[in-house]
Structure 1
Amino acid sequence: MNPDVQKKILQFESFMNDVLRADLAKLAEKLDSKNAEMAEFLELKSIIKTLKDTNVDKSGFKTKVDMGNNFYIQANIEDASNILLDVGLGHFVEFSLDEALTVIDVRLKLFQRQIDNLRKQIARTNAHIKLVLIGIKDLQDMT
């Protein structure tokens, strides 16, 4: 085999393994993170709807709160008509339940767009990997 062709094949393999596969791993990690965030907001939306449907938002309710390491304490919520939402950068804003649902819907749409974009980037990176593999195969077949 021609030494120049072998050198090119090694360069392509190195690029694929060092750059493209690393990028793919980072994108997959970001996708998992966004999916987890979206799941949290979907769960929060479900909880708020349950609070509204059962009318405990005004009358209050008792619950158990996880203090960490599976240690729970009993909590008495007297008025659940307002909720604090993390709006980013560690800032929390108090919303009524209806306002919180609106904010959550906006955030869910944003997460969906981000997830769609990440999936497109993953597909593009996978396509680049396949192109490099095809190029390597063509170079090997030339000799």
Structure 2
Amino acid sequence: MEDSIQQKLARYDTFVNESLRKDLKDALDARDAIFDQTSEYLKLAKDIEVIKENGLTEMKTQVDLGSNFYVQAKIPDTKYIYVNVGFGFHAQLTLDEALVFITKKEAHLQKKAEKYTEKASQIRAHIKLVLEAMAEIMKLDSTPPPRDLGL
């Protein structure tokens, strides 16, 4: 009987560590990726505001080519910018159009992040539930059986 209980506890432990914790990590990683995207869009919105406030018609900047390798770039006309709209597509937008797009994109990303936060909370609750059940099983297993007093 005790071997059966130990086997069940081992299966629950494996389920928590190999399934639930992996799902939790995946949900949190996906949410963090969305937060990174949101941060990039907010940074772009701030840059657009600086361009508009200062009336810049041309500018010099540094562009990250990847792996933190930067090159200097000259932007001859700041009327239009290219914005990543998803799925590898970039759209040419005016500064005002870009700000409207960024606002909508930020709201969309926020909703996605909230869904992943909700999912992570549910997974945490499942982990807690399984761990509490395991604790109860161990507590019951360690309780000595009732003695027959011969009454």
TM-score, length of structure 1 as denominator length: 0.90
Q: How many residues align?
A: 140
Aligned to 1:129: 127
**Contact kept? 2:82, 2:91, Cα under 8 Å:** yes
Which residue pairs with 1:61 in the alignment? 59
Matched, 1:100 2:98: yes
Cα separation, 1, equivalents of 2:8 and 2:62: 63
Amino acid at match of 1:117: K
Report Cα offsets for 1:4-54 as digits up to 9, x if no partner.
211211111111011001101111211111111111001001001111111
Instruction: Within 5 Å, give how 1:70-109 maps onto structure 2.
Output: 70-73=69-72, 75-109=73-107
Shift of 1:67: 5.0
Which sections of structure 1, spanning at least 5 residues, go unmatched?
Answer: none
For structure 2, list consecutive stretches of 5 or more residues without a partner in the other structure: 142-151
Alignment of 1:6-25 (within 5 A): 6-25=6-25
Query: Aligned equivalents of 1:67 and 1:131: distance in 2?
Result: 47
Runs of 4+ in 1 over 6 A off after TM superposition: none
TM-score normalized with structure 2 length: 0.85
SS of 2:74's equivalent?
A: strand
RMSD: 1.6
CA distance in structure 2 between the partners assigned to 1:23 and 1:135 by the alignment: 20
SS where residue 85 of structure 1 aligns?
strand
Please report how far the alpha carbon of residue 70 of structure 1 lies from its aligned counterpart in structure 2 after TM superposition. Answer: 4.0
**Residue number in structure 1 paired with 2:146:** none
